[in-house]
Amino acid sequence: MECMWLLTGLRPKYKTIAGFRKDHSKAFGNVFRRFVWLLKEWNLIEGQTVAIDSFKIRASNSLKKNFNDKKLKHHLEYIDNKIRAYEEQLEKSDQ
């Protein structure tokens, strides 16, 4: 779609982008999950539980920095809730 706009000089309206984001919100999560699956398939990751949030990782095993499956699930739920809240805020501002 971006290529079509670039080739013909058309620019999408803000509502077009907001509508696309709203209509395909689940697809974005699926893309990221598919990307992880692809990395496993190419043997670039082993499939062990790893959580990275764009910061340098140092070896540390303090309780604050140690994530088990329960903590990770709780943190992922927190992130999903924050994403939902952000999407709702964007939708309100689009209106």
14-33 pLDDT tens trace: 787 778 778 887 887 787 78
Segments forming the whole domain that contains residue 2 = 1-48
Percent of the chain with pLDDT over 70: 73
The answer, yes or no, to whether residue 3 has pLDDT greater than 80, is: no
Structural domain ending residue among the three candidates 31, 48, 65: 48
Based on the fold, state whether residues 44 and 4 are members of the same structural domain. yes
pTM, 2 dp: 0.36
Instruction: Decide which of 40 and 61 is more confident.
Output: 40
What are the tens digits of pLDDT across the range 36-55? 888 888 888 877 766 666 55
Q: Domain tally for the chain?
A: 2
Regarding whether 40 and 72 lie in a shared domain, the answer is no
Phi/psi of residue 71, each to 5°? -65, -40
